[in-house]
Amino acid sequence: MNTNNLINEKSPYLLQHAGNPVNWYAWNDKSLELAKKQNKPIFLSVGYSTCYWCHVMERESFENENIASLLNKYFINIKVDREERPDIDRVYMTALQSMTGSGGWPMNMFLTPDLKPFYGATYIPPKAKYGRSGFEDVIEQINNLWITKKDDLINSGEKIFSILNSRLKIKSNSEINIDESVFEKSFETIKNIFDYDNGGFGIGNKFPRPVVLNYLLSLYHKEKNPESLDMVIFTLKKMCDGGLYDHIGGGFHRYSVDLYWRVPHFEKMLYDQAQIVNTLLDTYSITGKKYFLDYAEDTLDYVLNNLTDKSGGFYSAEDAESAIEDSIPGYKEEGFYYLWEKNQIDEILGNEYSQIFSYMFGIKHEGNTISDPHDVFKNRNVLYISSDAYETAKKFNQTPEEIELIVSECKNILRNKRDKRPRPHLDDKILTSWNSLMISAFARAYNITNDSRYLEAAVKSIDFIIGKMWDSNSKTLYHRYRDSEVKFKSGLEGYAFFIKALIDMYETTFDDYYLAISLTIADSALYKFYDKENYGFFDSETDSSDIIIQTKEIYDGAEPSGNAVIVEDLLRLYYFSGNKSYLEAAEKSIKYFFPELQNLPFSSPYMLNNLFFLLGSPKEIIFTGDFQDENLLSMVKYIHGKYVPFKILLHADEKTEEISAFIKDIITDYKPAKFYVCENKSCKLPVDNPDELKKII
């Protein structure tokens, strides 16, 4: 097999394309300089290894000899793994959305040799179809324009660059007044787009968006509005009962292609597991309903069993596609690993069990993927809960407990059978940002369940990042690890998510080491990313020569924005350390973004949560005593089990004094187990028993 320049890369996505006839280059100084030297436009294709439509376009176009020869003749062709280089992806996705009003992956952009975009699209079929231009036509048209109207294309690229750049140079208004009116507006917006029939938001594809659900939980806590909690409970129930959840192996798929959470896009992403687990655990803390805890624990087990490296890092994702037994080598289909035909279920489970299982999970001979417009899945079935245990028990004249035992046995049988199928491709790169989200989820899970496996997983991952991805000499955090190679400086989101994970781990273990290193990394982030002139944080370091636009993102997409998380970090660290520079940077950043919050509150719910934090006063819970004291442990466990957003939990001792000098003004004796709860710069009398603590939390 012929190979191109990608063969020496570590990215699973780039390696997937290393055998294409397209002469791909990685994004680096050498390839960018080559475009300038040859005065050729750049064809930039951005995707990731578990992206279904990226696979489709590769098969249709990038493995096509005719299309490859045109690309090789006319362009310098560069492949980028968006998960390795979110900074590049963010710049050109911003440009694509500006050009077309939408975005997605694969992202295909045409750039001038100076990296300015002048044309872009997502998936492009090889020949014109679905109302889209054919890729061959696009290639020829752009080449003709480059030959005949090069100056026009260059000017177009410059114009797009100038427009984008001007949007990002908004001056901060120090006189702006931030107030709580934005909360009412945000809730009205959420109600207007909430799907009261199916849960979730909007009327098209359904994405989990845990950041919105978390904001609704904060809204419920602040205003005791039952409707906001009901939205979360209803949405999570639909997500968990639907095909979005893998009822055999655990874990959530990326999104559903219908209104009903029924038919998923089958890739499983680490960041989804982490965020959904946190939301499930918070909802369990509020409601006490074990249903939410069960799904959270099953998802964590999926991560431990399938996405955890023996070194402690967490892998990135599993693919939507999988190979089919006894088929053409290399042939794959979306979702095959997860789908079942009715006759397969009958044969594997036997008649009695199959009837019960098929009734409960909506399995039909003709298939149950009702919203599959192109009949891609034919007569196959996605497992979703069509009838619950009570309905199924009534149908088959059994008790719900008997039904649950039967279904559990059926799942084990089907899991053993499914394990013999070829598994979907595993993207085994380890990303600091996504690992950090998972660390926070495991820390929260340990606090709720006291399951030591969860704490061990969180500790090992933090040790991995500090040992492999953090350079303490240069105070630099790195982004990606794979096959013993550490590469790419982390962007803002890596620093922000890791600082949050460290603070969460401090509040779990009360090991001062985690708090101390979080402060060190926060100082590094302020130095590298903070805009001291206009405020807010740049998404990448200002000395990045290959990034043409310095973005400041607060949109919460599949992951929360780096700006929102770093602001939360700084607010928390201010209350831990008393360092007013953290509070000042956080407050100025919220003010900088406030007009955007007012205009599009649904887009940035994480920053709205920060506004709650800033305008209110967190519960500062400072306690003393020895962790061998069972009374102290029971009080800490009570606090961990409660849903108390924006709390600060600090164990005071001689070591903590070095970080939090202010505790000497509150506490004189660190030995007895006492809890001091402070709000609005006022502390209540210390308490030393669980009953008194419950009254003031």
Structural domain contains residue 638: yes
Mean pLDDT of 560-571: 98
Mean pLDDT of 430-455: 98
* 320-326 contact pairs (CB < 8 A, 24+): 320/50, 320/51, 320/52, 320/253, 320/254, 320/265, 320/266, 320/267, 320/424, 321/52, 321/55, 321/266, 321/424, 321/425, 322/421, 322/422, 322/423, 322/424, 322/425, 323/422, 324/422, 325/421, 325/422
- Express each pLDDT in 528-563 by its tens digit: 999 999 999 999 997 777 899 899 999 999 999 999
Same-domain check for residues 242 and 350? yes
pLDDT at 491 > cutoff 60: yes
- Express each pLDDT in 128-159 by its tens digit: 876 778 999 999 999 999 999 999 999 998 99
Same-domain check for residues 155 and 226? no
Same-domain check for residues 350 and 417? yes
Mean pLDDT of 26-34: 96
pLDDT at 118 > cutoff 80: yes
pLDDT score recorded for residue 326: 66
pLDDT score recorded for residue 543: 77
Q: Where is the domain boundary, 427, 447, 479?
A: 427
Structure tokens at 248: 């055999």
Q: What is the enclosing helix (H) or strand (E) of 314?
A: none
Minimal CA–CA distance to 608: which of 216, 226, 188, 191? Answer: 216
Mean pLDDT of 286-292: 97
Under a CB-based contact definition with an 8 Å cutoff, are residues 236 and 217 in contact?
no
Same-domain check for residues 242 and 141? no
Mean pLDDT of 157-164: 88
At 327, the pLDDT band (50, 70, 90 cuts) reads low
Same-domain check for residues 158 and 205? no
At 374, the pLDDT band (50, 70, 90 cuts) reads very low
pLDDT score recorded for residue 373: 47
Structural domain contains residue 204: yes
Distance CA 63, CA 50 (A): 18
At 657, the pLDDT band (50, 70, 90 cuts) reads confident
Strands 76-81 and 117-121: unpaired
Structural domain contains residue 16: yes
Same-domain check for residues 138 and 221? no
Distance CA 146, CA 476 (A): 41
Q: CB within 8 A of 655, min separation 6: which ones?
A: 512
Question: What domain range includes position 233?
Answer: 199-427
Q: Where is the domain boundary, 427, 456, 480?
A: 427
Which range among 459-473, 511-525, 665-679 shows the weakest confidence by mean pLDDT?
665-679
Q: Where is the domain boundary, 144, 167, 190?
A: 167
Structural domain contains residue 643: yes
Neighbours of 144 (CB within 10 A): 11
Distance CA 173, CA 591 (A): 7
Q: CB within 8 A of 79, min separation 6: which ones?
A: 6, 13, 14, 17, 24, 25, 26, 27, 45, 46
Same-domain check for residues 318 and 416? yes
Structural domain contains residue 495: no
Same-domain check for residues 292 and 353? yes
Structural domain contains residue 276: yes
Mean pLDDT of 180-185: 90
Strands (E), 242-345: 255-256, 264-265, 268-269, 317-318, 321-323, 332-334, 340-341
Structural domain contains residue 207: yes
Same-domain check for residues 341 and 218? yes
Mean pLDDT of 502-510: 98
At 318, the pLDDT band (50, 70, 90 cuts) reads very high
Count Cβ atoms within 10 A of the Cβ of residue 38 and give its class: 0-12 exposed, 13-18 middle, 19 or more buried: exposed
pLDDT at 462 > cutoff 50: yes
Q: Give the HSE-up count for residue 477: Cα atoms under 13 Å, Cβ half-sphere.
A: 32
pLDDT at 172 > cutoff 90: no
Phi, psi values for residue 47, rounded to 5°: -165, -160
Distance CA 431, CA 565 (A): 17
pLDDT at 494 > cutoff 70: yes
- What are the DSSP calls for 73-101, one per residue? HH-EEEEEETTT-HHHHHHHHHHHHHHHS
Mean pLDDT of the chain: 93
Same-domain check for residues 317 and 416? yes
Same-domain check for residues 307 and 409? yes
Strands 470-471 and 268-269: unpaired
Q: CB within 8 A of 586, min separation 6: which ones?
A: 567, 570, 571, 574, 610, 614
Strands (E), 215-342: 255-256, 264-265, 268-269, 317-318, 321-323, 332-334, 340-341
Query: What b/e readout covers 240-271, taking b as 16+ CB neighbours within 10 angstroms?
Result: bbbbbbbbbbbbbbbbbbbbbbbbbbbbbbbb
Same-domain check for residues 217 and 152? no
Distances (CA, A) of 645 to 222, 447, 584: 9, 14, 21
pLDDT at 365 > cutoff 60: yes
Which range among 61-75, 454-468, 672-686 shows the weakest confidence by mean pLDDT?
672-686
Q: What is the CATH number of the domain that holds 81?
A: 3.40.30.10
pLDDT score recorded for residue 1: 66
The total number of structural domains in the chain stands at 3
Residue 384 sits at the vertex; the CA angle it makes with 383 and 388, to the nearest 5 degrees, is: 130
Distance CA 136, CA 47 (A): 20
Under a CB-based contact definition with an 8 Å cutoff, are residues 268 and 246 in contact?
yes
pLDDT at 457 > cutoff 80: yes
Under a CB-based contact definition with an 8 Å cutoff, are residues 588 and 535 in contact?
yes
Mean pLDDT of 284-292: 97
Structural domain contains residue 103: yes
